[in-house]
Structure 1
Amino acid sequence: MKVPFPIEQVELNAPLPVNVVDPHGVLLLRRGEIIRNEAHRDLLKTHGPMVDEEEYRQWTFRYTAAIDKKLRGNERLEAIAGVARPMGVQPTRNEQELSALERWTDLHTRLSLLLVQGEQAQDFERRLQQLESRIDEVLRARVDDSLFVLVQLLLDRAQGYSASHALLSAVLCRLVGTPLLAGHEPLQRSLMHAALTMNIGMSKLQDELALRLEPLDEALRARVNRHPLDGVRILQALGVGDGVWLDLVRHHHQQPRTPLPDLTGCAPTDLAAHLLALADVFVARISPRASRRSQPAHVAARDAYLTQDGQAAPLGAAFIKTVGVHIPGSYVQLENGELAVVVRRGRRANAPLAFALVGRQGLPMGEPALRDTSEPAFQIKAGVAADEVRVRVNPSKLLARL
């Protein structure tokens, strides 16, 4: 539950102790950010700032506790009246102690705020660089957990689709692109930044369209078609001068006419552009939308792997080798009739580890059972689109069992 936030009581240039949202739940300021001046405060007031009731209760408790301490110390009324609302951010657990779900949910919130702020974002490149560093840090230790959580976030319509799409696209570009672009670290950074920001020109609209049942009218279709150019304009206004980054955003919806014939002989920038387009389309295809059904992950993977004439595409082959036919977080039907969610890539691209969620009789299992799909009894019969799954997944609970 959200309650009004007394923003007039907030100290300027001091880290906010809470997340501040508007009445619709859109993040206005993240915990730890600052209100720069009175004009900034007045602008926030126009959005009707709100705060989570529990966070507000904790913040108020710190305020009343400070007053109570002075009262019990028999201090003068002037000193008691001078107690200010507590600012600053309370200590949190070491980031290494957080689960993959907690870390990616936090990164999702931060990226969502950055994309929605658009041209109004402060310290844009620094904040984006911090996001990239934290993404790499999580991936170094938890690749499969990360893929599982990111796909599950993507399938959750309560999460902002734009940030979910961007995070998963960026991670796919990082995992597939790192060995292919070895020795081209600046290009790898440009590719990562482009994946995170390619839809900044329509981030809020992208969230809305994911929930929209009606087909696009001409005005909306025009906005969608021009969002790469809008994105470049916004990035330039934010001070981005990296030409490769800007070109990747500008052309990310221009699907390559032909696949790359050779990954070693092509220009690295061409490889980066093809990989961004491949990741973008793959993520879009496995994403459920209100207006259309999602594809099972193996169908999207097959389309990434094959060219239009049915031949294997070298980049698609590298993509499948890295990600697998059934990406962690996606759903599969096993030969024994069970419905399962993939949690780990396997030694073979088409034989991951999965947790069975629904038994062969169609009833949810009280305790999901771990299945190695390389075993004949638990082989994968088919991929399952997320729209067809009616059982809820608890990512933290499942990952804790691995």
Structure 2
Amino acid sequence: MEIELVKVQSSDIELNTPLPFSIFTFEQSLLLKKNTIVSTEKQLNVLLEKGVYRNLTEQEIELREALKQEPDQKKLQTNPFTAIAYCNQKLYPLLQDIAAQEAEGAQPRITKIAELLRIITVFDPNAALGAIHLLGCANNYAVIHSIYTAVLSGLLGRRRQLSDKDNELIISAALTMNLGMLKLQDQLYRQDSPLTSEQRQQIIEHPKQSVMLLKKAGIESRDWLAMVLQHHEKNDGSGYPNKLSGGAISEGAKVISLVDIYTSLITGRKYRAPVLAHDAIKSLFAKRGNEIDEQLANQFIRETGIYPPGTFVDLQNGEIALITKRGTVKNSKTSGPYALALISPRGAFYREPQKRDCGIALYKISKACPAPKVFNVDQANKFWGY
């Protein structure tokens, strides 16, 4: 019987801890049984160099089956592009109901969405980053912004080796962080005039308002509520609503705060174009140790790469390429990131994208660039094989 497998990522394996899955070769031959212990970096690197695969965990299988049982999810594939669209469809009315105080017992519905978003960061983190950087926020800005923040928070949580439960809690908090200003957030997305004093006050108060709405919806988790309340606090005490600093801010709130800043930068508004991801990352790097926790900033940059998947670059040979995979480190040597060249040095689109390892001198990245004007975002998922 054919086994459903996903490619092993370095973050899937924790040294000196029993494997929660079995590991297979590309031909589906068993390589390591479940509960085997990988004890050294050398063993881990050998596995990653082989490009091995693993079976789904019981939790992942349960979620897959649960999704299949839903009448409107028969065609849903657990990949970032369809999953994000699905979560947007489900989360929008749910948040509206919570904001209207008409959604008691909302926690299981939020948690289910959070679980799916966590799992797409496991299945294909490169495509998850690709979807965030390519799909944009044309509709339901307040909701899709929260979803992107949640996915990026989940990726950073994996980098920090959080448990699935703790990571899903951070994702849930990110999904609900802006309940207190849903209408205002959509309004500000389209607004090109300065903030009014009333709008400014509503922004300052929205973390408290969000917590109040979550409590009325039946959310009792202190950690969840604390992350929502504190997600605009800054490491240097310059944030709001309570001007907390350093260790007084929960780790989860610090994660969400950092990612929220990044997501806001890379999504445009009526009054400004989106900031290139590469420039947004440089902005975070400049703020580390002041507004932003330095360790978190460094971990986030290592997770996304300085040229994240889903962003466009000019290559040394004159091609324009789409980054599809983060760089890898093997035996202290870095390769990649990896890209698909879409436009030739002469400016014509290739009939078929050309694979490029940007660690090779000929294909070295010269600079980040905007998406080509004729790029079809609706077809973006195909670059990751979906």
Say whether the fold is shared (TM-score over 0.5).
Answer: yes
Q: CA deviation at 1:116?
A: 2.5
Paired AA for residue 375 in structure 2: V
Matches of 2:256 and 2:70, distance apart in 1 = 37
Matches of 1:169 and 1:193, distance apart in 2 = 10
Q: Percent identity?
A: 25
Paired AA for residue 332 in structure 1: V
1:336 to 317, 320, 326: 317
Deviations 1:328-383 (A, max 9, x none): 11222222233222211121589422223333334444433332211211111112
C-alpha contact (below 8 Å) 1:99/1:396 kept by paired residues? no
Whether 1:392 and 2:372 are equivalent positions in the alignment is no
Give 3-state SS (helix, strand or coil) of 1:292's partner: coil
Whether 1:375 and 2:360 are equivalent positions in the alignment is yes
Give 3-state SS (helix, strand or coil) of 1:289's partner: coil
Q: Which residue of 2 aligns with 1:243?
A: 222
1:113 to 93, 107, 111: 93
Q: CA deviation at 1:308?
A: 6.0
C-alpha contact (below 8 Å) 1:351/1:380 kept by paired residues? no
Structure with larger Rg: 1
Q: CA deviation at 1:138?
A: 2.5
> How many residues are treated as equivalent by the alignment?
303
Matches of 1:137 and 1:312, distance apart in 2 = 26
5+ residue gaps, structure 1, are 1-87, 260-265
Q: How does 1:2-401 map to 2 (within 5 A)?
A: 90=71, 93=74, 95=76, 97=77, 99-117=79-97, 118=99, 119-121=101-103, 123-153=105-135, 155-157=136-138, 159-180=139-160, 182=162, 187-257=166-236, 270-307=250-287, 313-347=294-328, 351-385=336-370, 389-393=373-377, 394-400=379-385
Paired AA for residue 108 in structure 2: R
Matches of 2:281 and 2:367, distance apart in 1 = 13
Matches of 2:256 and 2:79, distance apart in 1 = 28
Q: Which residue of 2 aligns with 1:57?
A: none
Deviations 1:46-104 (A, max 9, x none): xxxxxxxxxxxxxxxxxxxxxxxxxxxxxxxxxxxxxxxxxx97575364x46542222
Q: CA deviation at 1:389?
A: 4.8
C-alpha contact (below 8 Å) 2:141/2:186 kept by paired residues? yes
C-alpha contact (below 8 Å) 1:181/1:268 kept by paired residues? no
Matches of 1:206 and 1:219, distance apart in 2 = 13
TM (normalized to structure 2)?
0.69
Q: Which residue of 1 aligns with 2:54?
A: none
Q: 1:226 to 1:390 in 2, by over 3 A?
A: farther
Q: 1:100 to 1:180 in 2, by over 3 A?
A: closer
Give 3-state SS (helix, strand or coil) of 2:328's partner: coil
